[in-house]
Structure 1
Amino acid sequence: MSETRTALVTGANKGIGYEIAAGLGALGYRVGVGARDEARRDLAVGKLRAAGVDAFGVPLDVTSDRSVSDAAELMERRAGRLDVLVNNAGVSGETGPGWVQDPTTLDPDLIRTVVETNVIGVVRVTNAVLPLLRRSASPRIVNVSSSVGSLTRQADPGIEIGPVMAAYAPSKSFLNAVTVQYARQLAGTGILINAACPGLVATDFNGFYGSRTPEQGAATAIRLATLPDGGPTGSFFEDDGVVPW
């Protein structure tokens, strides 16, 4: 079994996921770059290796049981254990003008599509690699969420939180709730699991609308992925501290 710390980042071929992989790699982690698209995955791995990161590609579609199972087997072969899982892969779903998802006209199939990736995909991946995480001395799980999943902020008319996103925002609320359930179940095991809000980051995910860079967006997830033993678990963080549920 390798003594090098190993991380798996889903959706790591670009944007925030890529920067999380790069940041963990810079800290000495061997990083599995999880992504569906082979060409983009290979390009990301090449860039990371050129920067000195010990990176390898992990074919991974979080909506596919078979793909996730194969990815877990690959991690088993490559490292024998997993020290960090960052569930970063996510989708927003189709939007209308102004990047709005109107709840009064929303297609239920769109909700299913978004939840399949943003919530069920996280459960699918986490459970598949949990045996590998249990072999780590200091296992960490980070679920990349969003402040739009904060019911407290969404319900406060005095807080500007962007357009109505009736599929995407509730999927992140759901993800936050799932994070808490994992934390309760894994209490006492040494596995710390938290949700991270990257802030409004300019990537192709949102048409490059945002004031933050992907590197800035990755910072909280990297911090949570490298928490010391006894650190917080079952919480929701951004750069400035705890995000209200």
Structure 2
Amino acid sequence: TKYGCERIPNSRSLHSLMTMDSNNWTICTRDYSCFCYECMNKSYSECNSQKHGYVGEWKQVPLVVDDTYGSDHDDSFEDVPLISTDYDHISGLVKQGDVFAVIAEEANIEKVEYYLLRCTEERTKLTCEITSEVTTFFTGSVVVQGTYLQQVKALQSGIHFVDYKPDKKVYHYTHHIIATGLQLQQVKTTNSKRKKWRLDVEDHEKLLQVIEQRAEPLGII
């Protein structure tokens, strides 16, 4: 079985793969592929790309099970926040207790670019019309529920937040989500009854970058 692929402009480093019908544990590879019309029809000397695409001979490669992957593998990547324009993928990864970010409306009282929430209900499709805050969510809307964290201060060490009305749960459309799994560090304070949290500047800057990318044409995946 051969798997076709649409032409990918300006890409010269893709490998071409082919499965073997007779053996599920063997695949064939060749060094480079060009997906212009001429190369797809094996007229390699008439390649339409700026540089001629070289297509090597097919080589059989057996698939080998990696027995080294086990209980000792590094799970540190699981604590890394996921920040992306791919809201559909991200919203499906938001779990109860996770801190996730949504884009703020342009004219908001807080004058912030995004809101942080702590998830109380994972992605779901509404079976009835619901009004949350001042927004009406119609039947069939795909949403995530959470409680707000209010941004109170921006410092060089990070952006500070406090729990804002922990008992007040609100819905947000999944296509507004830009991050999940954000790690907050608790900040010691003696002047407030509410817990204070700090978001690293690096994550804050990544969130701003994603917001900027989404504002560009075709910026949302």
- Whether these two folds match at TM > 0.5 is no
Higher RCO (CA 8 Å, separation ≥ 6 residues): 1
Larger Rg: 2
> Normalization by structure 1: what TM-score?
0.20
Higher strand fraction: Structure 1 or Structure 2? 2
